[in-house]
Structure 1
Amino acid sequence: MYLESEYIKNNDAINTYSEIFSQGEKWLKVYELYEERKAKIDEFLSKLGDDVRVIFTGAGTSEYVGNIASEYLKNNGKYQFESIATTDLVSAPYLHFNKNQKTLLVSFARSGNSPESLAAVELGEEIVDDFYNLALTCAPDGKLALKLADDEKAFVFIEPEGTNDKGFAMTSSFSCMLLSALLIFDQRDDKKELVEDLSNTGEKILADAEKIEELVDFDFNRIIYLGSGPLYKLSNEARLKVLELTAGEVASLYESSMGFRHGPKSFVDENTLIVSFISSNPYTRDYDLDILNEIAADKIAPKVIAVANTDIEGDFDKLVYENDVDNDVYLALPYVIVAQLISLITSLRVGNTPDNPSKSGTVNRVVKGVTIHPYNA
């Protein structure tokens, strides 16, 4: 019902719907752009040499891109990867920027017009002696892209056309920026085949949209996302999408599979949906399934859904999309589509308008009302 074309058009959801459903195709385009630009990217990165601190940054969903990527990359490659929100860099730069540490700031920015995005770059340039910028942005005419366009110590990676989401929530922009970062910094040599597998899996999930709608079409007012490793980091983005698109009508929480027992389990009541992203790693997968089996045995939630890429057992609903993806950071790409569909369906179920969910107008697509105060290093 909710995903029928007329219903989508009549309830101000066409942009969000279209952007969610375009992602499989967009990921293939991201790979094409990466291949076209690879020589220039490698040339830029060669300027950095060794002993480089790489900070992934962004605000909100853009921050979560870096959180997911750094969880994997921190032990993969020659750089020192970490993720710090622009809101933290700007509000307390003295805690995060090191004058004597060569630094590459990797900015994730849908529009590039957020005041924090620009201020983080400017503070880094002011504080750090040897400072570089890599911007992954969806807007070639955004303020961040324009600022860095002619900077010899910067590289701007423009995402495919159409990823500067017109809808309120970041969907295709999120997944495309995450994929771009992984392509740029991961050292694996099977990237083409991997992206094709991810795209195919994404299309399978989108083809399964009616089944997903059937699973979540009930009157829940709380949702919890669980996961481990990079998929735990993804669960933060998943819970934010529901919060944004329902304008807070559905309360949301995220936690790691093992951490859930340590207090957050108290959030569960008779109106709670629980969704778990299951790891592809057999060792970690056991922990993901342990907590789901415990919840099922406790009978404390009316619906528990596991999202996996291999067959699993348990007394809960399952969305299984088999593929050859061998690392959870890449599974975040197709799995986020499940979360986006749940958010879209739930927004429509509670009577909201996904493309413009903030009825008060106090929450905006590009943040407003931010005062950037002068800083004296």
Structure 2
Amino acid sequence: MTMTQALDLASPQWEALGGQHTAREIAQQPAVWRQLAAALLNEEKSEAAGISAGISASNRARLHALLADPSAQAILTGAGTSSFIGELAADGLNGAWPAQVRAVATTSLLSHPALYLAADKPLLLVSFARSGNSPESQAVVDVVRAKAPGALFLHITCNAEGALARDGDGRSDTITLLLPPATCDRSFAMTSSFTTMLLAALSLLEPAPLAQAARRIESLAVLADRWLDTFAAEWRELGSLPLSRIVYLGGAALEGLAQEAALKVLELTAGQVLAMPNTPLGFRHGPKSMLNRDTLVVLFHSQDAHARLYEHDLLAELRRDQVAGHVAALDGSALGAPEDLSDAWLAAAYVLLAQTLALHQSVRLGLTPDNPFPDGTVNRVVQGVTVYAHEAI
């Protein structure tokens, strides 16, 4: 898909609708992922792609040494969309390494550090941030440095001028991975920043060689290019439905994707379309009561054959009940996704549907997707957070 014809509309149309940045940043993702893959394969290409030296062999060895320590813990953190990167990646990484790996949002880590930090355990804190200027981003790093001496920090961020990117300057305890400039989305909603940070984290932190990670990224880019071309009109039609509610369902890692998908709807429709994330099995336990004729349910199918049995049962039930007005599913296996891609990797392609639906719902409501909150009540970079000192653990 070309940048001049993105998501079934031409650039002048998106400009008139106030969605040119959002549309471009959704459509550019396969190209940006390829920049990351090239840098993974050849450190010398990193600088040319605008990627910092955080992917060096020595840095990766430091990260893997800590993850290989059964007494260590790794916390994946961020706020909002950035926190869902951790939710997507944590379980797979926890199963791959002796260290305990968990996702804890900065919004919890900052307010309740004593629940998560142990000064007597080796710690890796992985921070995800588009701008790196959200109040919690730097505050959490400062808290961890104070409460967990000797911790190692990995900052994955998109903004070279952000506070988080500058934090590690001259520090031996900090590895900074600065992603290509295009990932620092100009639009209100995080799109290419989200997926590229996710793929960078999986590439750096999984045990597999970087060459294998680069091959997976290329497979995802090919898949995403094809989906954006093939389904642009269909996704635009789905995103233009007169909806009051959208439900996103995904299990295990894909529960984090469902959370991100729901947040995109809330952000780009300024809360006019309510969105709920859940798991396929959990949805029956009360949340199913929200369904009505103005509801769209979207299920993200797992690559796991056992999980898919439960997902197929729920889809059959929803279609049989006919309470929800619209039921859809995205099935990577049926649409050409390689079998060796885990759900966390496949989420980078799956989220294209959610981003596109939210964009078109924003247009349907007469909003400007690049800035759905012109009154400033909600901001691209969070404001108004007072950071308070915390007693020693």
TM-score band, normalised by shorter chain: over 0.9
Contact 1:276/1:305, CA 8 A, preserved across alignment: yes
Deviation at 1:115, TM superposition (A): 1.1
SS in 2 for 1:275: strand
Structure 1 counterpart of 2:147: 127
Cα deviations across residues 136-185 of structure 1 (Å, max 9, x unaligned)?
A: 00011111111112110110000112101000000000000000110011
Give, in angstroms, the shift of residue 2 of structure 1.
Answer: 7.1
Deviations 1:78-97 (A, max 9, x none): 33210101111111111111
Give 2:27's aligned residue.
21
Aligned counterparts, 1:72-91, within 5 A? 72-91=92-111
- How far 1:216 sits from its partner (Å)? 3.3
Aligned mates of 2:274, 2:248 — CA distance in 1: 11
8 Å CA contact 2:298, 2:327 repeated in 1 = yes
Q: Which residue of 1 aligns with 2:166?
A: 146
Give the residue type in structure 2 aligned to 1:261: R
Q: Deviations over 1:313-347 (max 9, x none)?
A: xxxxxxx3444443111110100111101111111
1:232 equivalent to 2:255? Answer yes
Partner of 1:242: 265
For 2:281, give the aligned amino acid. Answer: M
* Distance change >3 Å, CA 252–CA 306, structure 1 → 2: same
Give the secondary-structure state (helix, strand or coil) at the position aligned to 1:75. Answer: helix
Contact 1:139 1:164 in 2 (8 A): yes
The structure 2 residue matched to 1:284, chosen from 292, 307, 317, is: 307
Name the CA shift for 1:46/1:205 in 2 (closer, same or farther; >3 Å): closer
Match of 1:45 in 2: 63
State the one-letter code of the partner of 2:56: K
Superposition deviation, residue 131 in structure 1 = 1.2
> Which residue identity lines up with residue 12 of structure 1 in the other structure?
G
1:280, distance to aligned residue in structure 2 (A): 1.3
CA RMSD in angstroms, aligned pairs only: 1.6
- Corresponding residue for residue 368 of structure 1: 383
Shift in CA distance, 23/252, structure 1 to aligned 2, threshold 3 Å: same
Given the alignment, which residue of 332, 336, 351 partners 2:351?
Answer: 336
Letter in 2 for 1:199: A
Does structure 1 residue 3 correspond to structure 2 residue 9?
Answer: yes
Q: What is the aligned-residue identity percentage?
A: 38
Q: Distance in 2 between matches of 1:309 and 1:169?
A: 24
One-letter code aligned to 1:112: G
> Residues of 2 paired with 1:295 and 1:197: CA distance?
32
**How many angstroms does 1:348 deviate by?**
0.5
Pairing 1:268–2:291 present: yes
Amino acid at match of 2:27: F
- Residues in 2 aligned to 1:163 and 1:112: alpha-carbon distance in whole angstroms: 13
Shift of 1:362: 0.8
CA spacing shift, 1:184–1:78, aligned 2, 3 Å: farther
- Kindly state the Cα deviation for residue 40 of structure 1 after the two structures are TM-superposed: 3.3
**1:22-61 deviation line (CA, Å, top 9, x unaligned):** 1001111112233423313224326647232110000000
Paired letter, 1:103: L
What is the distance in 1 between the residues matched to 2:100 and 2:17? Answer: 46
Change (3 A) 1:285 1:360: same
- Which stretches in structure 1 are left out of the alignment for 5+ residues? 312-319
Aligned-partner Cα distance in 1 for 2:337–2:345 = 14
Secondary structure of 2:109's aligned partner: helix
Partner of 2:220: 198
> Which residue in 2 is equivalent to 1:185?
205
- Give, in whole Å, the separation in 2 of the partners of 1:47 and 1:149: 22
What is the distance in 1 between the residues matched to 2:237 and 2:271? 22
Q: Which residue of 2 aligns with 1:31?
A: 37
Mapped partners of 1:33, 1:142: distance in 2: 22
Aligned partner of 2:331 in structure 1 is: 308
Secondary structure of the structure 2 residue equivalent to 1:304: strand
AA partner of residue 336 (structure 1): V
Instruction: Specify which of 194, 206, 217 is matched with residue 174 of structure 1.
Output: 194
Structure 1 pair 172–360 and aligned structure 2 pair: CA distance change class (3 A): same
1:259 pairs with one of 264, 270, 282: 282
**Superposed CA offset, 1:194-229 (max 9, x none):** 111100111112112112112332211100000111
DSSP-derived class of the 1:42 partner: helix
TM-score, L = length of structure 2: 0.90
Number of the residue aligned with 2:48: none
Provide the secondary structure at the position in 1 that maps to 2:56.
helix
Partner of 2:4: none
Provide structure 2 residue ranges, at least 5 long, that are not aligned to the other structure.
1-6, 44-54
- Given that residues 243 and 250 in structure 1 are in contact (C-alpha distance below 8 angstroms), is that contact kept between their aligned partners in structure 2? yes
TM-score of the superposed pair, with normalisation by structure 1: 0.94
